Amino acid sequence: MILQRFLLGFGLVSCLATVPALAQQAPPTITDGKARNLYEKAQNLYYRDRQPQQALLVWQQLTDKYPDYGDPFLRKASLLTILGDHPGALQAYKTGLGKLPVEAARAGDYLVLGKLAAEVGDYATMRAAYTNYLSTSPTNKNQVALAKLQLQNCDFAATAMAHPTGAAPERLAAPLNQFRSQYFPVLTADNKSLIFTTQRTPEKVGQENEDVFMAHLLRRALGGENQRLVIGREHREVL
């Protein structure tokens, strides 16, 4: 029993110890010897030496000299994401994934690409990323639901951009808090603008809408009668 526990513990430690070593090895798809050396050098700089900036320089050198390999672009993209360079990471992910087949091993990369594309409103890339993710037959139900929701957001964005409505200014009631079902009011730092949502009375059941408003102070407001602030659906909560 003691020997069995020792072997189990030793096996676990050995397995954990090999993870960084395996991560440092270049994938078999990189066949050029010099490219493999650069790949492993960059991995060692990051995992072993904890020098991300130096590792990034080697990744850049590798992708410049050997642009046909997709994996180095993904490693560079991952590091750029960690370092906070999201625009650079987005471009590197797009380039790298474009050179590789769509497969389950890249599912996580497609999720990150979709998120980065969503940040800048690149809906074409966002749609392709989440579509490719779903095509890998993922098993994580939460991520699958998120990907499907993001595809719906792409559809909404495409329609909204094709038919822009523009702003429709309207003078609000005085005092402002007479608006019923007012939610989440936020006052800007200069005390001149108020952002809030308000629920419109639906014409039919199931057609509830909640609009976003931005109110700007045009002149110094005059004192008036205090009003109760009504918050919540169906006016159930009154302050």
Percent of the chain residues topping a pLDDT of 70:
68
Q: Which residue has the higher pLDDT, 48 or 237?
A: 48
> Average model confidence (pLDDT) for the chain?
79
Closest by CA position to 136, among listed 85, 180, 102: 102
| pLDDT value at residue 143 | 96
Q: Which residue has the higher pLDDT, 106 or 20?
A: 106
pLDDT at residue 32 above 90? yes
| pLDDT value at residue 38 | 96
pLDDT at residue 85 above 90? yes
Q: How far apart are CA 199 and CA 166, in angstroms?
A: 20
Phi then psi for residue 69, to 5 deg, are -90, 130
User: Looking at residue 44, what DSSP letter applies?
Assistant: I
Q: How far apart are CA 93 and CA 115, in angstroms?
A: 11
Q: Which residue has the higher pLDDT, 227 or 194?
A: 194
Closest by CA position to 184, among listed 211, 217, 152: 211
pLDDT in tens, 155-199: 998 888 888 777 666 665 554 555 555 566 777 777 778 787 776
| pLDDT value at residue 160 | 84
pLDDT in tens, 115-132: 999 999 999 999 999 999
Q: How far apart are CA 94 and CA 100, in angstroms?
A: 10
Domains in the chain, CATH or no CATH each: 17-162 (1.25.40.10), 176-238 (no CATH)
Percent of the chain residues topping a pLDDT of 90:
53
pLDDT at residue 48 above 70? yes
pLDDT at residue 238 above 60? no
Long-range pairs for 131-138: beta carbons < 8 A, 24 or more residues apart:
132/97, 132/102, 132/106, 133/107, 135/102, 136/102, 136/103, 136/104, 136/106, 136/107, 136/110, 137/104, 138/104, 138/107
- Length of the chain, please? 239
SS (H, E, C) 132-180: HHHHCCCCCHHHHHHHHHHHHHHHHHHHHHHCCCCCCCCCCCCCHHHCC
| pLDDT value at residue 217 | 73
Closest by CA position to 42, among listed 61, 59, 67, 18: 59
| pLDDT value at residue 131 | 97
Q: How far apart are the first and last CA of the chain?
A: 67
In 84-133 the beta strands, taken as DSSP E runs, fall at none
- Determine the residue type at 53: Q
pLDDT-derived band at 211, boundaries 50, 70, 90 = confident
pLDDT in tens, 214-224: 777 766 555 55
